[in-house]
Amino acid sequence: MAAVLESVASVPAVLAPMARVGSDFLALPFDVAREQYAKSVRAGLVERSLIASARFERTLHALEQLALGGMARRT
């Protein structure tokens, strides 16, 4: 009986890394959007501006929070 209880207690420790991988996978489209924005700035397609960059990041973060809810990353 003690062995069963011990194995049940270790389940959260096993699931935590899997949940992290799942949330990273769900956040992938938002990471791609950030990368594309950075490449657009480097290519000169988007104005190089700290204000515009912050505005983009704020908007994308809000979308990520809306889409992923509790699984969204916190900054």
Residue 8 has pLDDT above 90, yes or no: no
Residue 6 has pLDDT above 80, yes or no: no
Closest listed residue to residue 22, CA positions, set 62, 66, 72 = 72
* pTM flag (> 0.95): no
Instruction: State the DSSP string of 13-70.
Output: HHHHHHHHHHHHHHTHHHHHHHHHHHHHHHHTSS---HHHHHHHHHHHHHHHHHHHGG
One-letter amino acid for residue 37 of the chain: Y
Residue 56 has pLDDT above 80, yes or no: yes
Structural domain spans, the chain: 30-75
**All residues at 6 or more sequence positions from 5 whose CB lies less than 8 Å from its CB, including other chains:** none
